Amino acid sequence: MLQIPEYKIPIVEIKTDFDIQIFIKREDLIHPKISGNKFWKLFFNVNQYLESNPENPLLITFGGAFSNHVASVSAFGKEFGIPTIGIIRGNELENNWQENPTLSEASKNGMHFFFVSREDYQNKEKLTQKFIEKYPNSLIIPEGGSNEMAVEGVRYMLGNDTKDFDYLCTAVGTGGTVAGISRFAEEHQKVIGIKAVKDNLLEKTIQEWSRRSNFELMDADESRYGKITDENIRFINWFYKKYEIPLDPIYTGKMMQKIFDLAQKAYFPKESKILAFHTGGLQGIKGANQFLKSKNKVLIEFESSIF
């Protein structure tokens, strides 16, 4: 069994000219390799799995070429001595994955890859069954790591230090983190999830996990997954220069950009206290810059030390 770590995650005030207070909880600092909310989502999934004393334990998961989740599962496996397999979207990567910073590092962590076509990747139920038959003692973790145990794990992102805030904000991918924050928030707190994806089923999924009605989902300005604009990058670069806090271009950058936009539009009542959760994802910066450079786009002016 894995022991629950005792970490003190700093909450930093973001000084602004708005008539509200904005803070950010640096969950990205929880572990040097296992990124932010991914730590808690994986921790409780794997602990439940290990309780069954599986013979030859193995972690299997899904993700794209620059997936923070794949990176975190590989690092988790290395940290706790459990072999890992990544089912990777895009069989065109099979012969050149070494050029991809995320997959290259995951391989160094000991992860083995199975590359599947984008069409086959859409049928995860079929893929899951295939790998269960091949590795019957394995734990198959869903893409993004979100499930009931992940939602339970997110409770450890909340505590006495988060109780006094009026609003709790997080980026949303597969919905597990915002569902967990919603489920374990205080009665007076409103939860805002800022979507990094277009998914009309997300609200229903989150509601089923949360079992509460204290949350609202909002689209980021560019909420198609993986879409990065010059405006996104300029905001991330400005934020880092002003506050010395790195943000990633898929999740946390869009979240903070949206919070600032809401503040400018007076969405929050005066004197509100807003807490944003920094859920990590910084390992993706190298891959994002690789892509942006190939398109002659504005680059992120810093790189994460995670990879």
Residues identified as active-site: 67
- Rg of the chain over Cα atoms, rounded to whole angstroms, equals 19
211 dihedral zone (left: phi>0; alpha: psi -120 to 50; beta): left
Cβ–Cβ < 8 Å for 70, 101:
no
The pair of structure tokens assigned to 109 is 């962590």
Cβ-count burial 189-198 (b if 16+ within 10 Å, e if not)? bbbbbbbbbe
Q: Is 206 left (phi over 0), alpha (psi -120 to 50) or beta?
A: alpha
* Dihedral Cα 262, 170, 274, 305, nearest 10 deg: -110
Cα–Cα distance between 107 and 96 in angstroms, integer?
13
What is residue 126's three-state secondary structure?
A: helix
